[in-house]
Structure 1
Amino acid sequence: MRLMIKTLSILAVLAILLMTPALAATTKPVLVMTDYRAAPGASVTTAGPLMPGDTGTVIVTITNTLKSPGAGTTTTVTESANNWDGTHQTPTNTWSRSTQSSDGSSGSVAIKFVGLQENGPVRVVSQSYTNPGCLGMGDSARFEFTIEADDNAADGKYYLPISVKTDDDAVYLNQYVPVVIDSSGVRMFLNDAPSALSGSKNSVILDVVNYMPGGVNSVSVVPAGAEFTFKPLQEYVVGNIGAGEMYTVNFEIASKNASYTGSPSFVVKYKNGDNWHQSAPLTLPLTAKSNTAASATADNSGLLYLIGGIVLLCVIVGGLFLFMRGQRAKK
């Protein structure tokens, strides 16, 4: 009888354990994109937009956020039995035993593939990563990709898909990296200039404005015009201009001759990251009066030469007439 009661108690406990799901403590690595940057250059220190036609770099940091490896599965079995002395039941005796199995996980994961895909006018020109190595618990790895924006890329934010595959199909990452295209660029405006240029010094003031949301570097203003002299001679070096900032430059210009047919012009050159850009030429709006006045001066000079020639001819003819008359009188 005592054996039967003990057996029934054990079977009841086992039935309860079978009906209750075992709690597994197995934990897999979790991959997270903890940082990303896109910038118009090979050296990415701060994120920034690309302009149409720019070449840039995308840097992605992938982290294995697992803090401890899997602890395996713990199973606890509790048994109890009642003793029977033949006349009545004695107090219940209860005992437990536990078993633990390890899943053998070290918390690391082997990276098999890391790839960035193009989107719209933003193309990925570098190769994907294949079998770059393992990523341990709490470790991070940085991956760089070279991108290019089409010359006619429209302004906007483009999301480039990035995917990470591992040796465990249950551990992967699918995310998006935003890349901004902005064609605002740097513009130049005429602040002050004379309506006509003379052979002496004429001051021309220009304002250079950076409309980009990030800074630009290697900014300079380059003059052009074969009929004019400029100071500075070749270019006015500005340097760096921050986002939304303006810089004012001053040129001294003189015409080489009293008359000229063209007008001086200026362009601003600058770099967005590692990419060179140039603005459309800004031409000084010289009035036609300056050219007309120069032409009138030239016409007046020609008229004076003509009158002088006529007077000289008259003197010669008159002198010849008087000479001939004197010769006749002697005869």
Structure 2
Amino acid sequence: MRISVKLASICLMLVLLLTITTPAFAATTNPVLSVTGTTVAPVASVTPTTATAPLMPGDTGTVVVTLTNTLKSPGTGNTTVITESHQNVYPPTAGSGITTTRQTQTSSSDGSSGACELKFVNLLSEGPIHVQNAAYTDVGYLGLGDSAQFQFTIKVDDSAADGKYYLPLKVKTDNDECYVNQVVPVVIDSTQPRLVLNDAPSKLGTSRGNIIIDVVNYRSSGINSASVIPEGAEFTFKPRAEYTVGSIGAGEMYTVTFETSSKNATYTGNPSFVLKYKNGDNWHQTAPLVVGMEPKTDAAAAGNGGGDNTLLILGGVILVVLVLIGGVYLFMRSQRSKK
């Protein structure tokens, strides 16, 4: 009987000493990384934050990428509970004594914190658009619902054709299942604002005449620091150096007036005007608008001068004839009075 009790006790102890594992399963959720915003605009003193604008050939621009960890709550993962039992016999003599049992429990979880570590964020060049700065590396962690912005400077070739180009955006994290591999569209549009002649005299003299010009912005985005600059060595203008317009919105028009006169009684050239403006912080200038005038040449002036001299000579001859006639008349009268 003692042997049976002892054998049973030993068996019970072995069973209790075995590790009993009770897993409690729950879904494992990885962080979700998403591009929640991109802006592309000509580089400017103030970084664009809300709207995009097309670049022109030769422009330097800015691309701002916003990354967001859209996960709202961390995953609970798999929870493991470990129960251990220990048997003590007192006094520790075979076949006798008092047996006691003690149990301990420990638990562990492989659930995600929901954060992701950004290893690198990179925007790649494509076609005529070149990314000027290197990739962002080892940026840090992006927590639940957090966002971060990354700015890239791009340069457009001077000979770039109009169209939409797609720059590859690549983002890697410490989690192979959390990454970004998509494109950022960039629009190139070479459309320029224009100067349109509204009104002008057919010819100019030393007195002033008004030349009226419309500044029309045909672009899909606004321009700034716009000014109209007159040119022509044989003419004077008011304003003398330039007519400052400032900012002109997309599709808007602004009218300017120059009081213009010739410096001399003669001229052979034509006055012209150019529009200088900024797309972002990039300077551009339109082709000259030439205002055609009827020339006042030296030959015409000489012809006019010859006509004046002829009149003077003719007047002098007539005056001499009149004097002679008057003299003859007086002489004849004096002779009659003597008789």
Distance 2:220 2:59 in 1: 15
Amino acid in the other structure paired with 2:292: P
Between Structure 1 and Structure 2, whose CA radius of gyration is higher? 2
Distance 1:170 1:241 in 2: 48
| 1:256 equivalent in alignment to 2:263 | yes
| 1:50 equivalent in alignment to 2:64 | no
1:9 maps to which residue? Answer: none
1:200 maps to which residue? Answer: 207
Check the 8 A contact 1:270/1:276 in 2, yes or no. yes
Q: Deviations over 1:42-66 (max 9, x none)?
A: 4214321111111010000000111
Q: Please give the residue correspondences for 1:86-165 in structure 2 after superposition, counting only pairs within 5 Å.
A: 102-165=109-172
Check the 8 A contact 2:237/2:261 in 1, yes or no. yes
Check the 8 A contact 2:173/2:179 in 1, yes or no. yes
Structure 2: stretches of 5+ with no match in the other structure: 1-23, 82-105, 317-339
Q: Please give the residue correspondences for 1:1-331 in structure 2 after superposition, counting only pairs within 5 Å.
A: 24-42=26-44, 43-45=47-49, 46-73=51-78, 102-287=109-294, 290-292=295-297, 295-301=299-305
Check the 8 A contact 2:211/2:257 in 1, yes or no. yes
With normalisation by structure 2, the TM-score equals 0.73
Amino acid in the other structure paired with 2:40: A
User: For 2:305, what is the secondary structure of its paired residue?
Assistant: helix
Check the 8 A contact 2:67/2:149 in 1, yes or no. yes
Distance 2:78 2:258 in 1: 80
Amino acid in the other structure paired with 1:194: P
User: For 2:296, what is the secondary structure of its paired residue?
Assistant: helix
State the 1:300 CA deviation.
3.7
Q: Deviations over 1:1-44 (max 9, x none)?
A: xxxxxxxxxxxxxxxxxxxxx96511001100001100001421
Distance 1:27 1:265 in 2: 68
2:6 maps to which residue? Answer: none
Higher mean displacement: 162-171 or 42-51: 42-51
State the 1:175 CA deviation.
1.5
State the 1:106 CA deviation.
1.4
1:90 maps to which residue? Answer: none
State the 1:304 CA deviation.
6.0
Distance 1:24 1:149 in 2: 51
Higher mean displacement: 102-111 or 259-268: 102-111
C-alpha root-mean-square deviation of aligned residues, in Å?
A: 2.4
State the 1:295 CA deviation.
2.8
Distance 2:37 2:216 in 1: 32
With normalisation by structure 1, the TM-score equals 0.75
Aligned sequence identity (%): 62
Distance 1:100 1:302 in 2: 118
Check the 8 A contact 1:159/1:176 in 2, yes or no. yes
Distance 1:285 1:100, change over 3 A: farther
Amino acid in the other structure paired with 2:303: D
Amino acid in the other structure paired with 1:44: P
Distance 2:29 2:42 in 1: 40
Amino acid in the other structure paired with 1:51: M
State the 1:231 CA deviation.
0.5
Q: Deviations over 1:92-121 (max 9, x none)?
A: xxxxxxx98521421111111100011111
Structure 1: stretches of 5+ with no match in the other structure: 1-21, 77-98, 313-331
Distance 1:65 1:300 in 2: 85
Check the 8 A contact 2:192/2:219 in 1, yes or no. yes
Distance 1:143 1:33 in 2: 11
Check the 8 A contact 1:70/1:103 in 2, yes or no. no
Amino acid in the other structure paired with 1:30: V
